[in-house]
């Protein structure tokens, strides 16, 4: 629990201090790679709900991941993330079939990346495979969660996340920390990096027919997208806060924050098709200058 508090405080402090220092300029594509550290919580930490191994505990997991991010607009985009985390077991019962209860999780997740200046939030949904098959998930499980983070310097991001597995009535979750380095673009531009500004080539701006049906559809889908974000993100954050409180208060039911996190993430992710349709109809509303 102390580790979870330190992780949460570290991320919040880093976000508040660095918010005014670095604001990355718009990049259509980003590829990043970096290490991850996971802190199992609740039943997963105690070894219950994942293994039939009384006394076995899981205090941490170490691994790494790679992420591809495609930005549709400066404020939002979609991502694909894959990696592997090794969870190490401890306790009086540590062997099974000549090995240990330690196992490797391999998550593959799709995400909706929402960005404001140097800050970002990313609900994710996908599947996790288990290499050692000592779990009760029959080798794989659905995965969902959310991450929040910041661009520390032009090439580096720091983020924290909550992730949960669930299949066949068995559930496990963890808090995580990811420090990633951006491989592409090789020289990401920063809006306030202090570098000399490049003079843009003059061009004729697009005009839009604001009275057309296409423009009205663009505005409608854009509104629906931001409504989904405005509803989904607060519900997800409330679920995360409730999950933290549940660690200290056993009277808070697990299903309460599970429902809040899952439904909040689903509503937030539903904003992506709305934004895609909005962008599609905006292009159709263009008028040649």
Mean pLDDT value of segment 213-238 = 87
Tokens standing for residue 35: 């290490």
* Residue 281 structural domain: 207-287
pLDDT digits over 103-162, tens only?
888 899 999 999 888 889 999 999 898 876 666 666 788 899 999 998 887 788 889 999
Rounded to whole angstroms, how far apart are CA atoms 144 and 132? 21
pLDDT of 205 reads 67
Rounded to whole angstroms, how far apart are CA atoms 137 and 104? 13
- pTM, two decimals, is 0.57
Rounded to whole angstroms, how far apart are CA atoms 146 and 158? 14
CATH code, domain carrying 88: 2.40.160.20
Our count of domains for the chain comes to 2
pLDDT of 196 reads 43
Peptide bond into 185 cis (omega under 30): yes
User: What is the percentage of the chain residues whose pLDDT exceeds 90?
Assistant: 17
Please tell me the least confidently modeled range out of 19-23, 177-181, 240-244, 262-266. 19-23
**15 pLDDT tier (thresholds 50, 70, 90):** very low
Question: Based on the domain organization, do 176 and 245 belong to the same domain?
Answer: no
Question: Based on the domain organization, do 10 and 139 belong to the same domain?
Answer: yes
Question: Based on the domain organization, do 28 and 151 belong to the same domain?
Answer: yes
**266 pLDDT tier (thresholds 50, 70, 90):** confident
pLDDT of 50 reads 55
| Boundary-marking domain end, from 184, 219, 235 | 184
Question: Based on the domain organization, do 19 and 72 belong to the same domain?
Answer: yes
Mean pLDDT value of segment 238-251 = 69
Question: Based on the domain organization, do 174 and 227 belong to the same domain?
Answer: no
**Would 31 be classed as within a structural domain?**
yes
pLDDT of 14 reads 46
């Amino acid at each position: 629990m102390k580790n979870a508090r330190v992780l949460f405080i570290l991320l919040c402090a880093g976000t508040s201090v660095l918010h005014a220092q670095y604001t990355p300029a718009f990049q259509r594509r980003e590829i990043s790679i970096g290490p991850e550290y996971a802190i199992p919580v609740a039943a997963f930490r105690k070894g219950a709900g994942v293994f039939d191994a009384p006394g076995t505990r899981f205090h941490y997991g170490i691994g790494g991941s790679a992420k591809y991010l495609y930005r549709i607009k400066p404020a939002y985009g979609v991502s694909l993330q894959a990696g592997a985390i090794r969870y190490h077991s401890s306790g009086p019962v540590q062997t099974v079939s000549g090995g240990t209860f330690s196992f490797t999780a391999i998550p593959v997740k799709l995400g909706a990346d929402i960005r404001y200046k140097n800050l970002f939030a990313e609900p994710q949904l996908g599947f996790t495979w288990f290499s050692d098959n000592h779990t009760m998930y029959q080798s794989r499980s659905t995965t969902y969660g959310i991450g929040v983070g910041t661009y520390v310097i032009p090439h580096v991001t720091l983020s924290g996340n909550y992730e949960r597995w669930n299949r066949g009535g068995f559930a496990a979750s963890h808090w995580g920390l990811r420090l990633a380095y951006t491989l592409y673009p090789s020289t990401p531009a920063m809006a306030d990096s202090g570098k000399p500004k490049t003079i843009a080539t003059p061009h004729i701006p697009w005009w839009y027919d604001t009275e057309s049906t296409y423009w009205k559809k663009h505005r409608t889908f854009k509104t629906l997208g931001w409504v989904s974000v405005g509803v989904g993100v607060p519900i997800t954050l409330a679920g995360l806060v409730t999950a933290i409180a549940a660690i200290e208060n056993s009277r808070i039911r697990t299903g309460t924050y599970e429902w809040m996190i899952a439904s909040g993430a689903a509503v937030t992710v539903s904003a992506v098709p709305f934004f895609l349709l909005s962008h599609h109809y905006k292009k159709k509303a263009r008028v040649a200058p």
